[in-house]
Chain A
């Protein structure tokens, strides 16, 4: 991915540092100054999003494993002037790899996908995914036709990749190798409340 702000040469899966999901999520949220929407995938990605600080522009998915990126695409198509970030786990993306081709075809400039890869179905007991240690998610994205895709070399590199994605537009696909630490906290599980707050955050609902 061409970038002026990136402090490292392009990382690969093999030399990417294993970082922490909550740490990266906090770093991401800190950078959101324009009411960007964030879609948290099932399980730990949305637990960490919740714990990184509640924002009305966050949507927390409680089921529908694999649909964080498609939901983010829908928001991005509905609101082309708002940047939308999908936070997804590796096992979740593995269920819905085809969505990357849809995004490569539609090319929404306001969409960033962040995939947290620990090779595990962490929330069900830490079983390895069939792709663990074998498949390369950035290579998947590139093969799907996405051109702006990268492994985050470390936390600082992740910051730079997010800065570039928000400043220059995409669609952008960022993958990070993460450890097996559990998510921090638990999202309140009220789907209608989550949706109403989100729609209010997007300006679709009037203030209560």
Chain B
């Protein structure tokens, strides 16, 4: 996630000055979510790099996003909390794993999706696949939040992770280009 200019209403608070990826990392750590599986995306690059560098986390790539959901499910049943990072098009590969594993078994999977396909998308395929994401989440009644504001990031992620474990229900954080800068043509 890029280090966007803060639009916090409390501009002098330390959290408001921290880049998004540091906020996500600190919030995961504070909630003991220390296993992170990912299929990468450009905007996750600094987060993935920092997670790999932080020995409190076990961070690794998987070949597919549904594979990461399987690993997270097993890890949580074994007592270890995890999260998955993926791109919009990766989300489109996981509805079966959500509908037949995560939701019916009540697995609190923590999902971060970097949003492609909107606010300046240059790839028609990304634009179309983006439109499938929220209807899939809604149809399965999976909690999801589209995060657009830096000053709301920590509150939404922290509270929603706590809710996910307390209620044994998955949550998806959709990180908007408004928050991350997204990916634009030529970059």
Taking Cβ atoms with an 8 Å cutoff, the residues of A that contact B are: 37, 39, 59, 61-79, 82, 96-99, 101-102, 105-106, 191-192, 194-195, 198-199, 202-204
Contacts and interface: CB of A to CB of B under 8 A. Distances in A.
Given A63-B104, A72-B74, A102-B71, 13 more contacts: A67-B101, A69-B70, A70-B62, A71-B71, A71-B77, A74-B70, A74-B72, A75-B74, A77-B71, A77-B74, A106-B60, A195-B106, A202-B78
Given A74-B72, A74-B74, A67 B106 contact: no
Contacts of A198: 77
B61 interface: yes
Contact of A78 (B63, B79, B101, B105): B79
A63 B101 contact: yes
B74 A39 contact: yes
Interface of B: 35, 58, 60-64, 66-80, 82, 96-97, 99-101, 104-107
B136 to A, nearest CB: 15
Contacts of A78: 35, 74-80
A74 B100 contact: no
* Most chain A C-beta atoms within 10 Å of own C-beta, residue among B35, B58, B63, B99: B63
6 contacts: A63-B101, A67-B97, A96-B67, A97-B63, A99-B70, A204-B79
B60 A74 contact: no
A97 B75 CA distance: 20
A61 B70 CA distance: 11
* Most chain B C-beta atoms within 10 Å of own C-beta, residue among A62, A98, A99: A99
B105 A102 contact: no
B77 A64 contact: no
Given A64-B96, A77-B35, A191-B104, A102 B77 contact: no
A71 B72 CA distance: 7
* Most chain B C-beta atoms within 10 Å of own C-beta, residue among A70, A96, A98, A101: A70
Contacts of A68: 70
B63 A98 contact: yes
Nearest to B101: A64
Given A63-B101, A64-B70, A102-B61, A79 B79 contact: yes
A102 B75 CA distance: 15
A62 B104 contact: yes
B97 A64 contact: yes
Contact of B70 (A71, A105, A191): A71
Nearest to B70: A70
B73 A99 contact: no
Contact of B60 (A64, A98, A102): A102
A202 to B, nearest CB: 6
A96 B107 CA distance: 21
B79 A192 contact: no
B168 to A, nearest CB: 9
B77 A98 contact: no
Nearest 3 Cβ contacts at the A-B interface:
A63-B100, A74-B74, A98-B63
A67 B63 contact: no
A198 to B, nearest CB: 6
